[in-house]
Amino acid sequence: MLVFCDGSTISVSELPSYDWIAREIKFSEKTITWLAFIITSVSLTIRNIGLAEMVVVK
């Protein structure tokens, strides 16, 4: 889930299991000072979770 400083959120479906596969999440333009990416669930076989990188483009 993406959480923005204005209180809005965007649900994000399953992410790729491999760090070389990008996932693009599009949303309407916002003026914000921060955003948080919250992982709400993982597969039972996952030991470690995280993101390789995050890029925000205007």
pLDDT digits (tens, 9 = 90+) for 12-55: 988 877 777 888 899 999 999 999 999 888 888 887 787 778 88
pLDDT score for 3:
96
Long-range contacts (CB closer than 8 Å, 24 or more residues apart) made by 36-42? 36/2, 36/3, 37/1, 37/2, 37/3, 37/12, 38/1, 38/2, 38/3, 40/1
Q: How far apart are CA 49 and CA 53, in angstroms?
A: 12
Q: What is the pTM of this model?
A: 0.76
pLDDT score for 32:
92
pLDDT score for 44:
86
pLDDT score for 37:
92
